[in-house]
Chain A
């Protein structure tokens, strides 16, 4: 069970609207194509993990992020499966 910590109220934030240099915490998964989610989970994108946007590709998509000390790229649309909560 995830215990809801009394942090600021979460609005639905996804990777798409996170600007480069900004970080967020993964709150959970929205949509569920299993192999995609399984891969992300195996790569450490679990609940409460911090994810930071490094940069976007020249066409705006995909997005390079840092998570658990390494770098990963995801498409903005597909990464909407990750529900985030912004941290300052």
Chain B
């Protein structure tokens, strides 16, 4: 038995959607996002697992959850994370998670892990589904064939996780690689054998098996080739020559020959699995209808529409209830407490009129936001998400994007931050960045309260329609942005489309409600803090009086008035300076807009008219906004610079420069769109319209120029088309896509 000075690290590795995160959450008690589509996890996540015997001196261990991969090579950012971690050998043990209903394809990765030589155990998940499909697995035979410990579990239940834990604990006593080996054709084995000794140095540098390195070189893996060339072991021409020779000798493409041999081995392993002969699966039968020629599109649109319609109409009916509840707590409760403590009046103004009103305003929209999260979780758990991407692929291509981009954008209706991270599953940088540019325009949950508040005040009876119009406008602006950006900033062609369609399953109510609740709770926690801070700061600014005229003037109101001219072209009047302040605080978080707006009106009113705070706010909104100005204001809120968290995320994903470009672009776009709408609807000032259009044209030109510079800097060479990528094309017949390099003398 090996004694370990440090806490052992185990990593979950497996195909996308095989159930890794489900196991991770079970082992560590975490609540990471789970969904029924490939590519839910895009980052490395760590947690701690206490093994069953922990209390009596057993182990605790660090568990690492990774994005799903089909092979140990990478063409997208999420795959790179997984590959780098596997090859780093940081893990003492790899838990290879396989989907039991889909063993053949999942075993391909297992063979690679065995070739690399990482210590591992194998966990078959979804065993419940496999049994339901009538698949019979002989675990003993499978264990023998793979040459590693194998357990089969249902990852959704406690017993399943406990079994995984036991398997890990016992494997950690003696961590060993799987013994299964692929038998390649004689000529290939010979080449691998001649290369292996020379690669020992390069391999030991990273602690991987030299044979695997040699095999990957023959396969033409661009990243491995680059690595080996860099270590100076072989030069690129030599590798090239050997590959060309070998390809000629076996008279076929090497990578095809290698994959064929691996799947032949898998075929032998899979003899321990009996799958009943069957016709089309239930999912396929559903797909034939749901994706059908004539009904496919209407069903898709109906599904999307029902997400928003349910959210808005059903959510709306609960608004009043929550408003009253929140009012009782934040306003009546707090003012009673303050009175009992005989606190000074200024404190009561800030805490009750300011923070209390602000929190109440957002709390009122809990049902709407919560329902949005529920609808999205339903979509995520059902299996329709990948189908939606499949349906829209054709249309998305018009905007220069692959259908896969649709998934992160859909997530954006909940929150922009995970949407931006979700783009990591896209194969090329250009697709990824274009999608990041579009994602803030998918109106997030935090913007809903702003829409709902103004719509309730100015469009009573038609609030649902107004909100729906805003969502549609957001989608249209996203499409326009995609169209613009993919032609100017990030020119190129969308990457290829290979998307697994997972089986449908009936969403589990507990999982859907749990996921929605966690997102809602996170949102409310954040909203409570940012609103309280923003409104309290504004309260103090409002307490400092500046003017000596007949009108009450404070630092806050003078600041608000001073920036209002910028927003005047879309109908914000000087008396309506609280709206300008709301725009500023909204940069921190969108729900701040509502908090600020209500609080600023309340401060402005302080000592003035009496009455119920919420009706007073509605009155002030009606006094200050014409319907056209209100809609223009909402258009601005929809479009402008996303919250700080989203801006920071975009900078992390694209770099500070492009992140700033995005923030600036959205601010300009918002101003132009709101101005054009307001001037056309009400203002009628042609000069303003022309100015707005001109600004947009200028943006397009700037993007074009900037895009050229990016391209010159080698930007558009994405992971999938890098020049090293086509080594395997040096075969007789040549490559149809990328012209051949002149033959080396």
Contacts and interface: CB of A to CB of B under 8 A. Distances in A.
Interface of A: 1-2, 20, 28-44, 46-49, 54-62, 64, 66, 68-75, 78
Contacts of B280: 54
A1 B288 contact: no
Given A33-B737, A44-B104, A64 B291 contact: yes
Nearest to B728: A34
A40 B70 CA distance: 10
B31 interface: no
A69 B104 CA distance: 8
A51 B252 CA distance: 21
B405 to A, nearest CB: 14
B284 A28 contact: no
Interface of B: 70-71, 73, 75, 101-102, 104-105, 108, 185, 219-222, 250-253, 255-256, 259-260, 263, 275, 280, 283-284, 287-288, 291-294, 296-297, 300, 390-391, 393-395, 403, 427, 496-503, 719-721, 725-729, 731, 735-738
A74 B252 contact: no
A32 B501 contact: no
Nearest to B222: A34
Given A59-B394, A71-B500, A44 B284 contact: no
Contacts of B728: 32, 34, 37
B501 A72 contact: yes
A64 B259 contact: no
Contacts of B102: 68-70
A60 B394 CA distance: 9
Nearest to B737: A33
B394 A73 contact: no
Contacts of B71: 38-39, 42
A35 B720 contact: yes
Contacts of B255: 34, 37-38, 41
A31 B500 contact: no
Contacts of A41: 255-256, 259
A39 B498 contact: yes
A1 B496 contact: no
Contacts of B221: 38
A71 B291 CA distance: 14
Contacts of A73: 390, 393, 497-501
Contacts of A58: 291-294, 296-297, 300, 391
A85 B393 CA distance: 27
Given A34-B726, A55-B287, A62-B393, A46 B292 contact: no
A47 B70 contact: no
Contacts of B731: 32
B105 A74 contact: no
Contacts of A38: 71, 73, 75, 219, 221, 255
Contacts of A64: 287, 291, 390, 501
Contacts of A54: 280, 284, 287-288
Listed from nearest, the 3 A-B pairs whose CB atoms lie closest are: A58-B296, A41-B259, A59-B394
Contact of B390 (A28, A37, A43, A62): A62
A43 B296 contact: no
A2 B260 CA distance: 10
21 contacts: A1-B252, A28-B256, A29-B253, A32-B728, A33-B496, A33-B726, A34-B220, A35-B427, A38-B71, A38-B219, A44-B105, A47-B260, A55-B288, A57-B391, A58-B292, A62-B403, A64-B287, A68-B104, A69-B102, A69-B275, A71-B500
Contacts of B105: 43-44, 68-70
A40 B735 CA distance: 17
A36 B726 CA distance: 11
Nearest to B104: A68
Nearest to B262: A46
A70 B720 CA distance: 25
Contacts of A55: 284, 287-288, 291-292
A72 B498 contact: yes
Nearest to A75: B497
Contact of A32 (B288, B390, B496, B735): B735
Nearest to B258: A41
A20 B288 contact: yes
